[in-house]
A and B are shown apart, each in its own frame.
Chain A
Amino acid sequence: MNAVVTASGLSKRYKNTLALDNVNFQIPAGRIVGLIGPNGAGKTTALKAILGLTDFQGQLNVLGLDPRSQRDKLMEEVCFIADVAVLPRWIRVREAIDFVANIHPRFNRAKCEAFLARTKLTPDQRVKQMSKGMIVQLHLALVMAIDAKLLVLDEPTLGLDILYRKQFYQNLLEDYFDENKTIIVTTHQVEEIEHILTDLMFIRDGKIVLNTDMEAMGERFAEVMVSADMAATARQLKPLDERQVFGKSIFLFDGIDQAQLRALGEIRRPSVSDLFVATMKGTYA
């Protein structure tokens, strides 16, 4: 398996908190991985470690390189957009393109200009004159024109309206993603990326609590709508979660045989957000 990212025993300790606690995972090429967790769970720390922006303990291999010591080389193959990694306010669209075009060996200027032609951005516009959505459009245009192997997105659509958000992921899927590229994305707007993910990773208190691909997730977890008279039977199967809707109970099960569940009621595949909420129960308590 040609893994893009391999982490083993990855730990990171800040002064008095353990942000990553002996984490192991592997991300193969050609996947779109959702790294999902509550605030302060260690998502950003994990991404920073992959990008060589932070020191850590343990082993981490990104595209065959060590992000701590080979960062400059690594960044030729890796791109990232973070909601906090804003473009400098003084820069103009034209200057940003000129700069990246001359700095980055894998940048395709024509591609970038083609993306921008579809937006309202003009070459002389400065970042400080743009709305948040336009800034992300420019950033995305710059990044999508780079033929990178790994794209890291940290809350890329935070603060954008739904039109920009939908368009962001649509562009990413239609014009960027292919089997040679890998995307790691963290976001709290799980519903919006659910259908584009191929893999799912839940992180909580610095530990990976769930690491699965979407197909396996559909087989492993099931949501069953159970009428009141069957509820007690369902509870015996130790559901992860239970909630009431219109006098019926909806149970979320982990690893129970589907045939057995079918007897209880109507089965459907749980949404990532329901699964997330069930898994993270008690995080802030």
Chain B
Amino acid sequence: MKTLYWLVKREFWEHRGGFLWTPVITGSLFLLMTLLSITSFEAFGLRNNMFHMGDWNFTHHVDADTTKNFGKFLDLMMCISASAILGIMAIVIFFYCLGALYDDRKDKSVLFWQSLPIANWKTVVSKVASAIFIAPAIAAVLGVITGAVLVLVTACVASLHGLSVWAGLTEAHPIRLVTNILGLIPLYAVCALPTIGWLMLCSAWARSKPFLWALIIPLATTFAVWWLHLLGMPGLNAQWFFSHVASRVLFEVIPGNWLSFINPMYAGSQGEEVFEHLDLLRNYSALASGELWLGVIAGAAMLAVAAWLRRWRDDT
């Protein structure tokens, strides 16, 4: 356990730029853009006399419904900023996996790591854990923090126009939102395994250009299936192959990777739309899908091969 902890820590040291600074910078840009657009909007309004502080004031016609909608809007904002940062993180994770078992072979530092008493499977596990737990968790937390700041800013601006900050905030559900988003990370992790496995397999196997191999093999296979279908081979369907195999080994690091497995029978908790989509029970119903588990098994198998290759690949 201690070894694994330090291995994960090492991954964080090496990839601080991707794991920490990327979401921080994305979040900051998000905030900056919001601030700029709010300022320009206010300035525009003032200059054109569209609304004076007094005029565009909701104080008189604010009712329970408006506050509720405002709260909903704040929830949505937090959710959007968290998803945006998680989306950026998907790109980081994709390239992290491609380099995870390749970069140190390329610069030969793999020999230094192999001079230490660390089992290869532990190295691979630590890299997988970094990709599917550490990186998304950092991104989710930072995304929610960005969202919270955004909400505070928006609420303050709105209060200038007569909407009560506190009323809006009490109608928002930041804690529930954070718990739900964090609660979805394990589901994300399970569903991301086919892609993580494939990318790491390419990373451990490729002598050069893991990115090209990772992309070309699934795409070329899809093409081959399509071509064989054209030739009249029965039972082949390129579209099916692409969406059920090729895209699953390439794109399942994207947040919401479980959505296609959700059983439509499960309705989310009643109430706001945002929470209907984030409802844990509804989302975790995806685990009932056999296809999801097939992907998990394939992912785990590919990771096992990657760990084996790690030991013998450079034996020349």
Residues of A within 8 A of B (CB): 14, 48, 51, 53-55, 72-76, 79-82, 84-92, 95, 98-100, 102-105, 139
> Could you tell me the distance between the alpha carbons of A91 and B13 in the complex, rounded to whole angstroms?
8
A98 CB contacts on chain B under 8 angstroms? 6
The answer, among B3, B107, B113, B315, for a CB contact under 8 Å with A89, is B107
Q: Jot down 13 A-B pairs with beta carbons below 8 A, ordered by A.
A: A51-B114, A53-B114, A53-B315, A55-B312, A84-B111, A86-B107, A86-B112, A88-B104, A99-B9, A100-B116, A102-B2, A103-B6, A105-B117
B107 CB contacts on chain A under 8 angstroms? 86, 88-89
0/1 string, B265-301, CB within 8 A of A gives 1: 0000000000000000000000000000000000000
Q: How many residues of B contact A (CB 8 A)?
A: 24
State whether A103 and B14 are in contact (beta carbons under 8 Å apart), knowing that A54-B315, A84-B108, A86-B107 are contacts in the complex: no
Residues of B within 8 A of A (CB): 2-3, 6-7, 9-10, 13-14, 104, 107-109, 111-119, 312, 315-316
In the complex the two chains form, is B109's CB within 8 Å of A87's CB?
yes
Beyond contacts A55-B315, A85-B109, A90-B13: 17 other A-B pairs, Cβ-Cβ < 8 A, are A14-B316, A51-B114, A55-B312, A79-B115, A80-B111, A80-B115, A81-B115, A84-B108, A85-B115, A86-B108, A86-B111, A87-B112, A88-B14, A95-B13, A98-B6, A99-B9, A139-B112
In the complex the two chains form, is A85's CB within 8 Å of B112's CB?
yes
For the residues of B in contact with A, the DSSP-based class is: helix
> Could you tell me the distance between the alpha carbons of A117 and B267 in the complex, rounded to whole angstroms?
65
The answer, among B3, B104, B108, B111, for a CB contact under 8 Å with A103, is B3
B108 CB contacts on chain A under 8 angstroms? 84-86
> Could you tell me the distance between the alpha carbons of A72 and B315 in the complex, rounded to whole angstroms?
17
Residue of A nearest to B15 (CB): A90
B315 CB contacts on chain A under 8 angstroms? 48, 53-55
In the complex the two chains form, is A103's CB within 8 Å of B117's CB?
yes
In the complex the two chains form, is A103's CB within 8 Å of B118's CB?
yes
